[in-house]
Amino acid sequence: MVECEWRRALVTKETSFVAHSRPVVDEIVPTYEACAGGVLDYTLGMQQKPLKAYANVGLMRLARRFRSSTNPARPVVAYAEPTLYCNLGCPACPTGLKLDVRPRVAMEFEWYRRVLDELGPYLFFLNLYNWGEPLLHKQFPEMVAYAKQWDIRVIASSNLSLPLEREYLERLVRSGLDKLKVGMEGTSQEEYARYRVRGNFDLVTGNMRTIQEIKRELGLRTPKILIGFHVFEHNQHSVQEARRRYREWGADGISFAASFVSEQAEQQGIRPSTIDAFNLYRAAGLETSREPCSWLWGAIVANPSGSISPCCGVVDERSDFVRDARGKSIFGTVWNNAVYRRARRITAKPRAHGGRRVHLPRDGMQLSSIPTRERELICERCPIPFRQDYVDRMVDKVANDVITQMRHGKRLRIRLRASLAFVLMGMPKGKRRRARADDAQPPEPRDTERERLLLTGAGGASGRP
Ligand SMILES: C[S@@+](CC[C@H](N)C(=O)[O-])C[C@H]1O[C@@H](n2cnc3c(N)ncnc32)[C@H](O)[C@@H]1O
Ligand code: SF4
Ligand code: SF4
C-alpha cells in the first residue's frame, strides 16, 4: 500500500514529536489525533489472542484487497462510547457546543457486554471514547476490565478535569487500561481554559499525579498517561515548556498535534497554529489515501443509543449505518447489511478518494458532515478522507508485536506461535514497510525559523529518531 504523503511528513522529527519518560515505541502521534488510538507502549509484548484472531486479520485484508462488498471477516478494532455528554465546553467539539446531534445518554452495560461478547475474541484494540467524556461513566473501570479478559488493548481519552474520588481512580488503575490520553492544551490555568472551557488545570494535574501514586503503590505500569496537547495559535509558544514539564504534571509522555478549529472557536480567538506542522488547514492541503477505506472492512463504532457508526468521524446520529443494533447480532445482521455493502462499493471504486489533495473546512470536528439530505450516505462525502487508512496502521502495530516475538521470543514455542500468527495475518510488513516508504521519498523539509526553533529546542526528553 502506498503511504500517504502528508502522513509520512508527520512521522518525521521536522514536523511533530512525542516525548516519553523512557524509549518506547517508534511512533508519532499524527495530527488527526482527534479520535486516533495514538501511542501505546509495546514493550508489554505480544497479545494473547487466539490464532483465529490473527486469521481474521488475514481474511479482512484479503476481503479488502479484492474489494469484496460482503465482508467475511469480523472487525479488528472497535470504538465504544461510554457517554455522550461532557462537563466542559470545548468550542470545536459538537458535545462541548451542545449541538445535540446525538442523544445525551450513557452506554448501558448490557449493550456493551453484548458487543464485547460477540467481537471481543477478534478485537486487538478498543477505544473507549469518541464524542463524550468517558470518565463520567460510573462503570468505566468495569467496562475496561470486561474487555481485558480478551487481552484487548484498551485506550481512553479524557479531559480529566473531574473531581474523581481516589477509590474510582484506584478501580481505574486496577482495570488494566493500557493508555489514558489527557487533553491538556496549556501550561497555566488561563491558557488551558481558553480551549478547555470550564476546565481546571490543577484538577487535571492532581488527578494525573494521583494515578501515578496509585500505580506505584500497586506496582502496576499501566495506564500510561499521555498528554494530548492540541496546538493552536494561542498556545504554540508553550510547546517547549510543556515538553519540559509533562512529568512534573504526572504524565508519562506528551504528544503535540494539530487541532481542528471552528467558527465558534475563532470567534473566541482560538485560531489554527501559524506553524505549518500543527495546522490542519495549511495551504498545500492534505493528501487522501489511495486504498478503499479501511474502517469499512476492519473497524466498528458502537454508540450508547444502540446505533452503529462506520467510523469515528460520524458526528450526527442520522448518518449512522444502523439506528438500533441492540438485541441483534452485529456480525450476523449489521456488518453486511445493504448500507455497509453500498458504502464498501463506494470507497472501493478505483481512485474514488485516492491521492487527492483536500482542504478541510474550518468546521471543528467535521461539523459540516451533519447531513442535509435524508438517507445520504456519509461515505459519499467522507469527513475524514485523510484518515481512511486507520485500520492499516493498527494492523501494523499488531504485526510489529508479532515480528518482535518471532525474532526475540524467549522460548521456541513463542517464536513458532508468532510465526504462525504472522502467516495467518497474510504477512503484513508492519514497521518495515513504513521505513521503506519513508526512505524512498523523504518529506519536504519545513524550515521556517519558528518551526526550527520550536522543534530543535534544547534539553528535555528528545523528540524522535
Ligand atoms: C471529542 S473528544 C472526547 C474525549 C474526551 N472528552 C477528551 O476530550 O479527551 C475526542 C478527542 O478529540 C480531541 N480533541 C478535542 N478537541 C480537539 C481539537 N480541537 N482538535 C483535535 N482534537 C481535539 C480530544 O483530546 C480527544 O482525544
Ligand atoms: S473535546 Fe472532550 S472535553 Fe472537550 S467538550 Fe468535547 S468531549 Fe468534552
Ligand atoms: S465516512 Fe469516510 S472514513 Fe468513515 S467509513 Fe465512510 S469513507 Fe470511511
State the average pLDDT over residues 274-285: 84
- Closest-CA residue, ligand 1 atom 6, reads 133
Q: Confidence class of residue 277 from pLDDT cuts 50, 70 and 90?
A: confident
Amino acid present at 458: A
Residue 287 main-chain phi, psi, to 5 deg: -90, 140
CATH number at residue 284: 3.20.20.70
300 lines ligand 3 (CB under 6 A): no
State the average pLDDT over residues 439-461: 34
Helix, strand, coil abundance in the chain, percent, nearest 5 = 40, 10, 50
Q: What is the dihedral of CA 82, 83, 88, 91, to 10 degrees?
A: 100
Q: Given this model, what pLDDT does residue 19 score?
A: 37
Q: Confidence class of residue 440 from pLDDT cuts 50, 70 and 90?
A: very low
Dihedral sign for Cα 196, 197, 198, 202, please: positive
Amino acid present at 62: L
313 lines ligand 3 (CB under 6 A): yes
- Establish if 134 belongs to a structural domain: yes
- Using a pLDDT cut of 90, give the percent of the chain over it: 64
**Spatial separation of the C-alpha atoms in residues 24 and 41, rounded to whole Å:** 6
- Closest-CA residue, ligand 3 atom 7, reads 379
- Establish if 405 belongs to a structural domain: no
- Establish if 96 belongs to a structural domain: yes
Q: Given this model, what pLDDT does residue 350 score?
A: 63
The pick from 135, 230, 303 for probing ligand 1's pocket by mutation, whose C-beta has the most ligand atoms within 8 angstroms, reads 230
8 Å CB contact between 306 and 111: yes
Q: Given this model, what pLDDT does residue 433 score?
A: 46
Q: Which residue has the cell 448518518?
A: 319
Q: Confidence class of residue 25 from pLDDT cuts 50, 70 and 90?
A: very low
- Establish if 411 belongs to a structural domain: no
- Establish if 186 belongs to a structural domain: yes
Q: How many domains does the chain fold into?
A: 1
**Spatial separation of the C-alpha atoms in residues 217 and 440, rounded to whole Å:** 47
Ligand 3 centroid to Cα of residue 335, in Å, is: 14
Q: Given this model, what pLDDT does residue 354 score?
A: 60
Does the pTM surpass 0.85? The reply is yes
Cell numbers standing for residue 13: 522529527
Tell me which H or E stretch contains 301.
strand 299-302
What mean pLDDT is reported for the chain? 83
Supply the range of the domain harboring residue 259. 5-394
Q: Given this model, what pLDDT does residue 271 score?
A: 95
Q: Is residue 465 over pLDDT 70?
A: no
260 lines ligand 1 (CB under 6 A): yes
State the average pLDDT over residues 161-173: 98
Total Cβ atoms within 10 A of residue 219: 6
Lowest mean pLDDT among 9-18, 157-166, 188-197, 428-437: 9-18
First-to-last C-alpha distance (Å) of the chain: 24
**Spatial separation of the C-alpha atoms in residues 326 and 328, rounded to whole Å:** 5
- Using a pLDDT cut of 70, give the percent of the chain over it: 80
Q: Is residue 10 over pLDDT 50?
A: no
> What does the pLDDT look like over 346-394, one tens digit per residue?
988 866 556 677 788 887 787 777 766 666 799 988 888 888 899 999 9
The full length of the chain comes to 465
Q: Given this model, what pLDDT does residue 281 score?
A: 87
**Spatial separation of the C-alpha atoms in residues 287 and 358, rounded to whole Å:** 6
8 Å CB contact between 213 and 259: no
State the average pLDDT over residues 445-457: 36
Lowest mean pLDDT among 63-77, 136-150, 287-301: 287-301
277 CB-side CA count, 13 A = 30
227 CB-side CA count, 13 A = 34
- Establish if 426 belongs to a structural domain: no
Lowest mean pLDDT among 80-84, 335-339, 459-463: 459-463
- Establish if 407 belongs to a structural domain: no
- Establish if 27 belongs to a structural domain: yes
